[in-house]
């Protein structure tokens, strides 16, 4: 019997804990399988698989691609699992990473104008390859310029139409599904309840979608029932996961809080 969390982030993207720290947490929780689904990058995947083997945990290569459907005006996240290569995925996602870095640089410049002591290179020491607003907030918190990660600066500047409350241009979700499938992976619609995008799932199914994330804290009971009906009717599998981001999330949920549905076993091989 397996115990799997198929939606976990690390410091490779927007979590404050490293791959090794998270694998140790997963071991303590008794997980048998886990997927690092970093935002828009496959970086660190091989390392995670090797480290997992040393600790007796099966790590499934994963990714979470950030997309946007213009027809319904909603964000759409596509999870990818067990891809055999990553050429198509990387070709699609490299543009997202570049836009996200440019977006954060713009936010940092605005903060400088507002009087905050912050520099791009110092934030990148925390973030690595790709910057997120969480890295900016973490830097401001660590340097004593805000009381907490999601404190006054977050509320006044990064949300509620504040000076840094703006986003990037995302890829088309159909293209995300096709890229994952082209690289031999399984494509799954992430947390449709959270983003209110289940209505467009049929266009994704036509593009080759394999499954839908069922067990996620952002899916209401009614949403889960609808997911089960859609998956049964269209022969899709269902997954689940904690969507773990460590201290970089307002949800503050732990690893293993939402386990994968039994039908997701197909992605293990």
Euclidean distance between CA atoms 249 and 252, whole angstroms: 6
3-state helix, strand, coil in the chain (%, to 5): 45, 15, 40
82 close to 188: Cβ distance less than 8 angstroms: no
Euclidean distance between CA atoms 86 and 179, whole angstroms: 9
Structure-token match 């990660």, residue found: 149
pLDDT at 250: 86
pLDDT at 252: 72
Instruction: Provide the total of helices (H) and of strands (E) in the chain, helices listed first.
Output: 10, 7
> Cβ neighbours of residue 73 under 8 Å, at least 6 residues apart?
none
239 close to 261: Cβ distance less than 8 angstroms: yes
Please state the pTM of the whole predicted model. 0.96
Q: 67-101: buried (b, 16+ CB within 10 Å) or exposed (e) per residue?
A: bbbeeeebbbbbbbbbbeebebbbebbeebbebbb
pLDDT tens, the chain, 269 aa long: 799 999 999 999 999 999 999 999 999 999 999 999 999 999 999 999 999 999 999 999 999 999 999 999 999 999 999 999 999 999 999 999 999 999 999 999 999 999 999 999 999 999 988 999 999 999 999 999 999 999 999 999 999 999 999 999 999 999 999 999 999 999 999 999 999 999 999 999 999 999 999 999 999 999 999 999 999 999 999 999 999 999 999 887 899 999 999 999 999 98
Euclidean distance between CA atoms 61 and 143, whole angstroms: 35
pLDDT at 54: 97
pLDDT at 18: 97
Q: Could you give the dihedral angle defined by the CA atoms of residues 42, 65, 216 and 52, in that order, rounded to the nearest 10 degrees? A: 0
pLDDT at 269: 82
First to last CA, the chain: 15
pLDDT at 129: 84
């Amino acid at each position: 019997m397996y115990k799997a969390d198929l939606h976990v982030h690390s410091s490779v993207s927007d979590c404050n804990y490293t791959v090794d720290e998270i694998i140790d947490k997963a071991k303590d929780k008794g997980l048998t399988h886990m997927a690092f689904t970093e935002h828009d990058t496959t970086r660190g995947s091989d390392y995670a698989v090797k480290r997992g083997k040393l600790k007796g945990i099966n790590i499934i290569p994963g990714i979470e691609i950030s997309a946007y459907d213009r027809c319904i005006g909603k964000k759409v996240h596509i999870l990818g699992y067990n891809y055999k290569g990553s050429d198509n995925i990387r070709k699609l996602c490299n543009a997202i990473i570049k836009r996200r870095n440019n977006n954060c640089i713009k936010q940092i410049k605005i903060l400088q104008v507002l009087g905050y002591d912050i520099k791009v290179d110092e934030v990148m020491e925390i973030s690595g390859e790709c910057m997120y607003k969480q890295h900016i907030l973490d830097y401001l918190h660590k340097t004593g310029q805000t009381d907490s990660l999601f404190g006054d600066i977050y509320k006044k500047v990064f949300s509620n139409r504040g000076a840094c409350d703006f986003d990037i241009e995302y890829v088309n979700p159909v293209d995300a599904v096709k890229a994952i499938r082209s690289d031999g992976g399984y494509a799954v619609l992430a947390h449709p309840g959270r983003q209110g995008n289940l209505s467009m799932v049929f266009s994704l199914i036509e593009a080759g979608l394999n499954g839908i994330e069922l067990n996620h804290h952002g899916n209401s009971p009614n949403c889960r029932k609808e997911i089960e009906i859609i998956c049964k009717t269209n022969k899709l599998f269902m997954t689940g996961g904690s969507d773990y981001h460590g201290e970089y999330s307002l949800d503050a949920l732990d690893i293993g809080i939402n386990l994968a549905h039994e039908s997701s076993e197909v992605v293990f091989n």
